[in-house]
Amino acid sequence: MVAIAIFSADPAMRRSLEQLLREDSTFSIVGVVDDPAAISLLIDQNHVNVILADVPLRERLGDSVAHSIQMRFSVHTRSQIRN
């Protein structure tokens, strides 16, 4: 099972992502948050395989948290995925 944390400032996006992922038993949702500090806590307190983020990490989370996440995970922004 893939443990996923969802981070988005948009409530509708958070609900949509959560609903989509709950329909597939392959995924386990660790948490759904809109606060940068909360995503950091989720990572520190849980086994997280994937972070779905709806905003550019550095702009929203700050350099130190983004660096910590990148050290643990392969992080791709929307623009990197589209290219």
What confidence category does residue 4 fall into, taking pLDDT thresholds of 50, 70 and 90?
very high
- Give the CATH number of the domain where residue 25 resides: 3.40.50.2300
Contact, 73 vs 50, CB < 8 A? Answer: yes
- Site of tokens 């997280």: 48
Provide the H-helix boundaries in 1-83: 11-22, 36-45, 57-61, 63-72, 78-82
Angle, CA 32 vertex, CA 14 and CA 21 arms, to 5°: 65
Q: Residue 45 sits in which domain range?
A: 2-82
CB 31 within 8 A of CB 57: no
Please state the pTM of the whole predicted model. 0.65
Number of domains in the chain: 1
pLDDT value at residue 60? 57
